[in-house]
Structure 1
Amino acid sequence: MSHRFPVHVYYEDTDLAGIVYYANYLKYIERGRTEWVRGLGVDQTRLKEDEGIVFAVRRVEADYMAPARFDDELEVETNVAQVTGARIVLKQDVLRGGTVLFSAIVTLVALNETGQPARLPANIRRILH
């Protein structure tokens, strides 16, 4: 269940050293997750409106292996590592030409309208298993 999302590095993504600023990798993987969910056919706006459920990042473990630079063509790869009743754990990598530059384990949780943990809807659990 691997999903790939292309990212182009713009000048605004880089720091004084000309490499991608570390926090921008988190933005890249967020975009990758958004497109991954969309690709699964999950409409997050409707999920919130119809069931009062939203996803939130609970934890990120990140490793920076090599820098990306201005004008690089990158790819965010998203894979499901684990699904429980209220939690999704993803492995997300940012690659350049097949080389992993950044790797993260991201834990998402489902929250209800009051911000409390909620069970993932059954249809979403089915999609992910």
Structure 2
Amino acid sequence: MSHLFKLRVYYEDTDLAGIVYYANYLKFIERARSEWVRELGIDQRRMKEEDGMVFAVRRIEADYLAPAHFDDELEVQTAPEAVTGARIVLKQDVLRDGEVLFSAQVTLVALNETGQPARLPANIRLQLH
């Protein structure tokens, strides 16, 4: 159940050395996660309004393996590694021409209206298994 998200590196994504600024990889994988959730048919706005629940990043473990440069075409691969009643663990890789430049393991949790951890809705757990 892997998801692919394509993007191009713009000038604003780079630092003085002309390579992607390290924090921008987190933005790239966030965009990919948002599109992955949307393609699963999960309406996050409605989930918040009707269920009072939102997703939040609990943990990220990241490895920067090689630099991306201005105008590179990149692809973010997103795949679930584990799903429990309260969390989703994703593997997200940023690639250029098949070479992994950045790799992250991202743990997502659900939070209720008061910001407390909550069980993932059953329909979402079922979609990910």
TM-score of the two chains, using structure 1 as the length reference = 0.99
**Matches of residues 34-45 of structure 1 in structure 2 within 5 Å?**
34-45=34-45
**In the alignment, which residue of structure 2 is the partner of 1:124?**
124
1:101 correspondence with 2:104: no
Aligned residues: 129
Cα deviation, residue 92, structure 1: 0.1
- Where 1:125 maps in the other structure, the secondary structure is helix
User: How far apart, CA to CA, are the structure 1 residues paired with 2:106 and 2:93?
Assistant: 11
**In the alignment, which residue of structure 1 is the partner of 2:7?**
7
Structure 1 residue runs without a partner (length 5+): none
User: How far apart, CA to CA, are the structure 2 residues paired with 1:14 and 1:27?
Assistant: 13
**In the alignment, which residue of structure 2 is the partner of 1:19?**
19
- Where 1:68 maps in the other structure, the secondary structure is coil
User: How far apart, CA to CA, are the structure 2 residues paired with 1:74 and 1:92?
Assistant: 13
Counterpart amino acid of residue 5 in structure 1? F
**In the alignment, which residue of structure 1 is the partner of 2:68?**
68
- Where 1:101 maps in the other structure, the secondary structure is strand
Counterpart amino acid of residue 30 in structure 1? E
Deviations 1:21-42 (A, max 9, x none): 0000000000000000000000
**Matches of residues 76-115 of structure 1 in structure 2 within 5 Å?**
76-115=76-115
**In the alignment, which residue of structure 1 is the partner of 2:32?**
32
TM-score of the two chains, using structure 2 as the length reference = 0.99
